[in-house]
Structure 1
Amino acid sequence: MNRALRLVGRRAISSIPVLLIVVVGTFFLLESASGDAVDAYLVSIGGGDAALVAQLRQSYGLDQSALSRLWLYLGSLLRFDLGWSVGFNRPIAGLILERLPNTLYLMGSATALSFVFGTLLGIVAGAKPGSLRDRVLSIGSLALYAVPSFWLGLVLSITFAVQLRWFPTSGIETIASGKEGLDRALDIARHLVLPVSALALIYLALFLRLMRAGMAEIWRLDFVRAARAKGLAPSRIVLRHVARNALLPVVTMLGLQAASMLGGSVVIESVFAIPGFGRLAQEAVGLRDAPLLMGIIVVSALLVICVNIVIDLIYVLLDPRVGASEVSS
C-alpha cells in the first residue's frame, strides 16, 4: 500500500511540468488565433461602436497583455478556478461539470468493453498462432481498425436507430421523461449502446491485435517451452504463462490510448448529438470562447494524467518488480 502511494505521489509530481506545458502552449496557440469572444458577440448582435468594444474587452480582461492574462490564469488555476465563460456568461467549472459525466459514461464504457473483449479475443487468436481462427480474427480486426469511427457511428445509427428503430438516434437520455433511479439508468444505457459500440469496436481491434502479437512472441520463449516439457495442461500454459505476460504491453497501450479515446469520444458525441465535451468544445469554438476552450483542455489533460496513474498502479499489480524499481529509483 505504501509503495503504491509513493508511486502515485511520484507520478503526480512529475505530471505538474507536463500540465504546465499544456496550459502555456495552449494559451499561446489560442492567443495566436484571429478574433476573440468579443468579436463573436459583436457579430451576433450585428456590430457595435468603439466604446462598446472597449468596455467589453475591459470587462473580460482582454485589454491586458498576453503575459499578464497568462499569469492571472495560472494564479486562478492554483485556486482551482477555471474562470468565466464569455460565450455562456457563467462559470466554466459549472459548464464542465454538467458535460463531463456524459463524456465519462461514453469513454469509460467504451474503454472497458474494448479492453475486455479485445483482450479475450486476442487470447483466443494467440492461443494457436497460424490457425484458422487466428487468421479470421486477425483479418477482421485489421478491417475493423481501418474503419473511421464517425463512419461506423453513422452506419450503426442508420441501421439500428433509423431502419430497425431498436435504439434512439441521438442524445444521452429521453428529454423530460421524468425517469429516476434504475429507470433513468436503463434509459441512459439504451441511448449509449450505439455510440459506445461505435467507439469500442475500433479500439477492440487494436487491443486484439496487440494481445495476439504479444502471445505469438511469448510462445517462442524458453520458459514456455519448459512449461510444455513439464507436461502442463495447454489451457494453463496459455492463461498462466503466455497470456499473463502478453497482457503487460496491452495495459501499457491502454494508458497511451487514453488521449486518443477522449478524442474519439468527441467525434462520436458529434455523430450522436451527445451533450458532452465534444459538443461543448464545438460551441466554444463557434463562440470563440478561449477561456472555455482552455478549461476543456486543462480538464482533459488532468483526465489523461489520472488515467495513466491508474494504469501505472495496475501495471504494478501485474508485475510488482516495476513498482519496486520505480519507488527505489
Structure 2
Amino acid sequence: MNREELLAFLRTWLPKFRKTIWFRIIYLVVLGIIVAQLYLFTASAISCLIILLIPVLVFVIPYWLGERKIRRFAGNGALVFMIAILVAAAMPTQAILAQSNAVPLRSFPDFRSAAGLNLTNGTVQPYRGVPGQTFTFRVNLTTAGNGTPDAFNVTLNLTAVDGFAFTPTSYRMAYSPGPISSPNTRNGTWYERNVTLGGSIYIYGFSVNDRGRNWTETVSDAGPIIASGWSFYAFFLYYLVAVQGGFPAELVLYLGIIFLWWYMTRARERVMRAGRPAAKPETPPTKPERKEATERTKAGKAAAFTCTNCGADVSESDQKCPSCGAAFED
C-alpha cells in the first residue's frame, strides 16, 4: 500500500471510526494520561496555570470533538479524572520501585533552616530490605562555629504508614566517630542511628537543634523500601485524593465550567425564544362571517355554469338560458 492509498483509506475509515464508542474511549484515555502528566507541574512555579488549564482542557477537547450533552460531559470528566488519578499514582510508585539507592537528604536555607546549622548527606543503608531487618540512618552536621557533638540534638524523624494511619516517631541520633567525622561540628560531624523496622511504608528525614530555639530540618523521602509495590500504589492513591486534594479540586473546577456552559446555553436559548414574535391564536368566525361565507359559496356554485350559446351565467337548475332562450340538454 503506497502513501496515496493509505491516505485514501484513512479518509474513509476515520469518519466511520469517529462514530463508534471506541473513538470516545480512546481519546478519553489519552486525555486522562495527559492530565496525569500535567498534574506533575502543579508542584512547579506554574502551578496556578496548570490548575486552571487541566479542567479547561478536559472540557474543551470533547467539545471540539462534538460533545454537546451535559450528561456526557459529566461522564467524560469522571472517567478522565479517574484515569488521571490511577496514572498519577503509578508514576511515583514506579519511580520508587526503580530506585536502587537512597537520595541524600539535606537542609535548605529557605526551608525550616536556622543560620549556622546545616544538615547534609542524610541516607539510609540498606535502602531496600525485608521486615525485621535493621537499617542504619546517617546524616552530617556542619555548624558555623566550633562545637562538640554533644552540644546538638540530631534527630531521625521516621513516619510509618499503615493503611490510613500515619505514625511519626523520633529517634535521637548518636555521634559516629571515624576518619571523616570530626569531633568539631564546624568541620562536619556524622551522626547515626540503627533501627529495626517492620513491613510498613516509611518516610524519613532529619532535624537538629542547638538545645535552644534554633532548628534545622531536611526534606523528607520515602525509605527504606520494605513494603510491596501495591502498598505504595495504594498509599499514593490515598495521598493524591485525600491528603493532597489536588484532583478533587480539579474536579470541582471542571463541574463549575460545565455549569457555566449549561447556564449560558440555557440563557441564550431563552433570549432567542423571547425575540421571536408570538403566534396569534386563531379565533372561530362569528355568525355573520359564517353566513357571508356560505352565501359566497352558494354564489360561486351558482356561477359555476355558463350558456354555450351566449355565454351568460346560468344555474344548475335552469332548463333554458334566461338570456337567449336556448334550451339545455341533460
TM-score, normalised relative to structure 2: 0.23
Max radius of gyration: which structure?
2
Higher RCO (C-alpha 8 Å, min separation 6): 1
Bigger proportion of residues as strand: 2
TM-score, scaled relative to structure 1: 0.23
Structure with greater helix percent = 1
